[in-house]
Amino acid sequence: MFLAAKSLIEFIRRSKKTILLIVIVSSLTLIISMFVSMWLSSYHNTSFPSFGIIRVIGVEAYGGDIRASPDGQQYLDWGTLYPGTVANNSFYIKSQSNLPVKLNLSVSNFIFKNSLGENVTVAPPISEPLKITWNYNNMRLNPSESVYVTLSLTVSSDVAFLTYVIDNKVKEFAFDINIKALPAD
């Protein structure tokens, strides 16, 4: 045991420059990694709560993940989203028409708010910072018939959009989800 300790001490004496170099390089690597991680986290940890107000024409939306505000407005709470993530919300749509219809989905009135709760007036630098899709397959909906749909919201991870979010201190966003009954073919 004593011999092993003695040879370890001898090894350290002979290799102290090499050991010092390893310690310095390791420390610098950790410090640089920490700063790079902090810089990248400003992009990757960007998150914001979001809401989608539901507007319908010729149909009724109800149940599932739909919530109602105190003033009776229906909305979907997408939760806190991160760039590149997808969030889903599901609910029923019931035809209010006397004729068979097909459904049309669109979004409008995107509003981005900064950390002070003010609307950001600068438009996003990309055409589709948020993309909404659904699993509705264009089937005919007969009078008073209901269908259960799932909407998926994807937040862009495009660097230009992330820079926009950070530069404008975007902390939340909202938009209108428009679901309209159109005459079936």
Taking the whole predicted model, whether its pTM rises above 0.75 is answered as: no
How confident is the model at residue 99, as a pLDDT?
A: 93
Same domain, 84 and 31: no
Distance of CA 102 to the CA centre of its chain: 29
Number of separate domains in the chain: 2
Condensed to tens digits (0 to 9), the pLDDT of residues 86-114 reads 999 999 999 999 999 999 999 988 888 88
How confident is the model at residue 49, as a pLDDT?
A: 64
Same domain, 36 and 84: no
Residues with Cβ < 8 Å from 181, sequence gap 6 or more? 57, 58, 59, 95, 96, 97, 101, 102, 103, 104, 141
Domain span at residue 38? 2-42
63 DSSP assignment: S
Tokens 């959009």 -> residue: 161
Average pLDDT, integer, range 36-54? 63
Same domain, 144 and 88: yes
How confident is the model at residue 105, as a pLDDT?
A: 96
How confident is the model at residue 20, as a pLDDT?
A: 82
Report how far apart, in Å, the C-alpha atoms of 110 and of each of 76, 120, 123, 151, 162 are: 14, 10, 10, 17, 16
How confident is the model at residue 47, as a pLDDT?
A: 56
Same domain, 57 and 35: no
Same domain, 25 and 53: no
Same domain, 37 and 83: no
Same domain, 147 and 84: yes
Using pLDDT thresholds of 50, 70 and 90, give the confidence band for residue 21.
confident
